[in-house]
Amino acid sequence: MGVRLNVAAMTLLVLFASHANAQVFDVTANGAKPNADSTQALLTTWKEACASATRSKIVVPKGVFKVTQALFQGPCKAPIEFNLQGTLQAPPVGGGFKGGDTWIGFEHVDFLTVSGNGVFDGQGKSAWGKKCDHTEYCGKQLPINLRFDFVTNSLVQDVTTLDSKQFHVNVLGCKNVTFHNFHVIAPENSVNTDGIHIGRSTDIKILNSIIQTGDDCVSIGDGSKQIYLTQVTCGPGHGFGIGSLGKYLNELPVQGIFVTGCTLKNTLNGVRIKTWPNSYPGTASDIHFADITMENVGNPVLIDQEYCPWNQCNLKVPSKVKLSNISFKKIHGTSSTPLAVNLVCSSGAPCQNVVIQDINLKYSGSQGPITSKCKNVKPTVGGVQNPAACITSA
């Protein structure tokens, strides 16, 4: 793990050094103005910079620049940096908002850097109160703040995504992308605002970042491989989640997830793997959580293969997603619920090779003593166990 992170750190330095002598493209030269719609100016500037045969750097200076929707497409002829020093601001619902699933998107770009201490402001507060009945995906007409589709060998550093209407970041079909000193900000009551969602991507690193939101801080979907979360602080939010898996046909395997040295504060869940009952077949393996600090966290350690929100599934048919080679090590702190370790695996495909080691959690509430549960799993247990492992088992 240390070797991999050293390589990641070297990659960051190389990427930044590569832009030191870049040709600069200032969006104001193409008509971008503070407090005015600057969408076309941004798109024009991107097109010019992307066509450059040498390294390019797009600069958005300080100020608030309004953007209706922007898709920055490659491939580009050379490495490109999007340097955001100011704020890009989305229209609120009812204020020129036209729907869609994307606000700012980068796609088919190699050697992209997004940097600059700026803010992507989704103005999501205008959307979170929208009523829906849970019979369909409530946010399907609401845009994700930042999409990275088929982006490779890239770095996102120092920027902030604020108050997205839906997910803050969606990573799809990407390879070798690092988020470093990345910040997500949204209140606890923001609906469906996952911090970073990763799907069908390989070698994604989230390092030294802070995620505060109303849903999963990081959610990992099917086809995700070699995903590294290191020194990430989550809270408020719903914790770090793998899944839910098994809902759709032909989901790709999840393999190689490493969550290390992270902190969760006042979150609904801690570290969680969830699959649907009555699911399509699938696999998730080599998933490892280590050196995790919990501060007033609900469900700190959770495998839930009976995940069934709004009771819209058949719990009598077990999940067909096979979970294997999973470890929870050196997890300590405080739980806001008495059931601190809850490993509910599938009766149709019991979890294999699960390790729980050095778990030290405390609960001081009034709902009874701290406890644990194991179902359809026989974990290998080592070190400190508080609560004792598998107090309730089936």
How many Cα atoms within 13 Å fall on the side-chain side of residue 347? 9
Asked whether residue 196 carries a pLDDT value surpassing 80, the answer given is yes
Domain range holding 175?
100-127+140-393
What are the phi and psi torsion angles at 39 (to 5°)?
-60, -50
Q: Which pLDDT value is given to residue 63?
A: 98
Query: Shortest CA distance to 127 belongs to which of 101, 160, 159, 88?
Result: 101
Query: Of these residues, 168, 180, 197, 238, which one is catalytic?
Result: 238
Q: Which pLDDT value is given to residue 316?
A: 85
Q: Which pLDDT value is given to residue 3?
A: 40
Mean pLDDT over the full length of the chain = 93
Q: Which pLDDT value is given to residue 44?
A: 98
What are the phi and psi torsion angles at 289 (to 5°)?
-115, 125
Instruction: Determine the average pLDDT of the residues in 367-394.
Output: 96
Question: Is 238 part of the annotated catalytic residue set?
Answer: yes
pLDDT > 90 in the chain, percent: 85
CB–CB of 120/88 below 8 Å? Answer: yes
CB–CB of 392/371 below 8 Å? Answer: yes
User: What gap in Å lies between CA 193 and CA 188, rounded to an integer?
Assistant: 9
Q: Give residue 161's pLDDT band: very low, low, confident or very high (50, 70, 90).
A: very high
N-to-C CA span, the chain: 35
| The one-letter amino acid at 347 | S
Least-confidence region, from 38-42, 88-92, 218-222, 314-318: 314-318
* Assigned domain for 55 exists: no
Asked whether residue 219 carries a pLDDT value surpassing 50, the answer given is yes
- In terms of average pLDDT, the best of 48-52, 95-99, 137-141, 310-314 is 48-52
* Assigned domain for 86 exists: no
Residue with tokens 């046909």: 249
Q: Which pLDDT value is given to residue 139?
A: 47
Angle, CA 350 vertex, CA 345 and CA 353 arms, to 5°: 100
Q: Which pLDDT value is given to residue 96?
A: 73
* Assigned domain for 310 exists: yes
* Assigned domain for 168 exists: yes
What Cα–Cα distance (Å) separates residue 299 from each residue in 119, 259, 261? 32, 17, 18
Q: Which pLDDT value is given to residue 12?
A: 54
Paired with 183 in beta bridges are: 160, 210
Instruction: Determine the average pLDDT of the residues in 308-326.
Output: 89
| The total number of structural domains that make up the chain | 1
pLDDT > 70 in the chain, percent: 92
- Enter the tokens of residue 327: 């470890």
Instruction: Determine the average pLDDT of the residues in 42-67.
Output: 98
Asked whether residue 123 carries a pLDDT value surpassing 80, the answer given is yes
Q: Which pLDDT value is given to residue 140?
A: 52
Asked whether residue 11 carries a pLDDT value surpassing 60, the answer given is no
Q: Which pLDDT value is given to residue 208?
A: 98
Asked whether residue 279 carries a pLDDT value surpassing 60, the answer given is yes
Q: Which pLDDT value is given to residue 132?
A: 54
Asked whether residue 116 carries a pLDDT value surpassing 50, the answer given is yes
* Assigned domain for 133 exists: no
Instruction: Determine the average pLDDT of the residues in 72-87.
Output: 98
User: What gap in Å lies between CA 123 and CA 87, rounded to an integer?
Assistant: 12
* Assigned domain for 134 exists: no
Q: Give residue 18's pLDDT band: very low, low, confident or very high (50, 70, 90).
A: low
CB–CB of 72/46 below 8 Å? Answer: yes
Which CATH number goes with the domain that contains 249? 2.160.20.10
Query: Of these residues, 215, 216, 222, 304, which one is catalytic?
Result: 215
Q: Give residue 5's pLDDT band: very low, low, confident or very high (50, 70, 90).
A: low
- In terms of average pLDDT, the best of 128-137, 302-311, 345-354 is 345-354
Paired with 152 in beta bridges are: 110, 175
Q: Give residue 311's pLDDT band: very low, low, confident or very high (50, 70, 90).
A: confident
* Assigned domain for 324 exists: yes
Q: Is 383 exposed, middle or buried (0-12, 13-18, 19+ CB in 10 A)?
A: exposed
Instruction: Determine the average pLDDT of the residues in 135-156.
Output: 82
CB–CB of 124/82 below 8 Å? Answer: no
* Assigned domain for 23 exists: no
Q: Give residue 15's pLDDT band: very low, low, confident or very high (50, 70, 90).
A: low
Q: Which pLDDT value is given to residue 2?
A: 46
Q: Where are the beta strands (DSSP E) in 169-249?
A: 169-172, 175-180, 183-185, 196-199, 202-212, 218-220, 225-234, 240-245
CB–CB of 176/148 below 8 Å? Answer: no
Query: Shortest CA distance to 11 belongs to which of 230, 207, 171?
Result: 207
Question: Is 215 part of the annotated catalytic residue set?
Answer: yes
| The one-letter amino acid at 358 | D
Q: Which pLDDT value is given to residue 136?
A: 43
